Amino acid sequence: MISDSAKLLTDYWNLGDGDMSPAIQRAILDAHPGQDIIVPYSKTPYPVASTFRFNGMNGVTLRGSGRQYYAPAFQWVGPVGGLMCEMNGAQYCTLENLKLDGGKTAAHLVRHWWDGTGQSSYSCVFTGLYLGDFTGVGLTVGDDNNLQTSEATLNGVSTNGGITGIALRGANTNNIHMVDTKLVQATGNALVICHADVLADNTLWLQNAVDLYIDGPERPCIFHKGDSEGSQKFLNIAAFGYNASISFIGVDLNAPSSTAPNVFAEDSSLANVVWQQCGFKYGAKVRMNGFSPMPTSSIKSIKQFQSCRVTDARMNSVALSQALSYPEIPLTDYHFTIQVDGGLLAA
């Protein structure tokens, strides 16, 4: 049963001829704040040939009917390199229970940002979304122009493929909350955080080239509970903002084999990275580049392991905090590796 505050997308089907984007766009523009647009389930995807936009909208929800695993799908049939959905200057808008399929040609599926005109982007929600078959980025929140796109919530967003699953960009892209996120088989950085800040609960990374890339966050980023399985590398850090820190709490890293890189950081400074109750299947390996010799402050920062563990039974079950209890690291080169197998190795 559809409530009086909702409308059916099927009411606008006459606007499209093998393309649902005119119907979606008209339904969005006709909606008033607090109104849901219901997308009925279909066994075949709805074709979308041009970008539909929530620009300047307030409180509008585009929601698929049915359960998450049987959510209706939009499939891109437009130009190569296209964008499916734009939310520029949108506030309190929601995408819910939908599958967005890039058709192996869309470069970008959802872009939530602000170009500086009209109202800023604020407090939008992305829940129960599956983003797949795109060539570039699944979901972007914010932009490198550093204009405000704040308070976004990502709840149950899954991405598969592309270069980057989710990108959070901009110094005013703040207070982002991610819950139950799944990032799979990204060929680049599965999750990108550039100057933004995030609280992420229960993140799953699977078989990515790099799970997480962080560049210049301005405020703390916290990752609480999560798993990395079969990815080539977990973390790359380019730089830190003045008040930034990164905390990993209850995150387990599992490389595909003991000979795989399982490098969890390549960075010029790890001074503000803390690991608590984390598990490292084949031991923790750190590589830090860019200094010769390595600054003492960066060396000491690698001690920021608290109650961590090695999870592979073939290795010594010794806490990282114990394995790394040393006064100094005798380095002859500024490239080095820390490996927890009961000892410390410098390379």
Does 205 reside within a domain?
no
Does 95 reside within a domain?
yes
CA triplet 221, 222, 225: central angle to 5 degrees?
150
Q: Average pLDDT for residues 269-290, to the nearest whole number?
A: 63
Considering 135, 150, 182, which residue would you say is the last residue of a domain? 135
Q: Over the stretch 13-57, which tens digit does the pLDDT of each residue have?
A: 776 568 999 999 999 999 999 999 999 988 899 999 999 999 999
Considering 120, 135, 150, which residue would you say is the last residue of a domain? 135
Beta-bridge mates of residue 73: 99
Does 170 reside within a domain?
no
- The pLDDT value given to residue 1: 38
pTM confidence score: 0.86
Does 158 reside within a domain?
no
Structure confidence at residue 347 as a pLDDT band (50, 70, 90): very low
Does 165 reside within a domain?
no
- The pLDDT value given to residue 278: 79
Does 338 reside within a domain?
yes
- Check pLDDT > 60 for residue 323: no
Structure confidence at residue 136 as a pLDDT band (50, 70, 90): very high
Peptide bond before 45: cis, by omega within 30 degrees of 0?
A: no
Considering 90, 114, 135, which residue would you say is the last residue of a domain? 135
Structural domains of the chain, count: 2
The sign one gets for the Cα dihedral 145, 148, 151, 155 is: negative
- The pLDDT value given to residue 220: 87
Parent domain of 254: 245-347
Give the SS3 label for residue 72. Answer: coil
Structure confidence at residue 311 as a pLDDT band (50, 70, 90): low
Does 212 reside within a domain?
no
Residues 3 and 126 in one domain: yes
Burial of 219 (0-12, 13-18, 19+ CB in 10 A): middle
Contacts of 287 (CB under 8 A, 6+ apart): 263, 265, 266, 335, 336, 337
The backbone region for 283, taken as left when phi is positive above 0, alpha when psi lies in -120 to 50, beta otherwise, is left
Does 47 reside within a domain?
yes
- The pLDDT value given to residue 5: 63
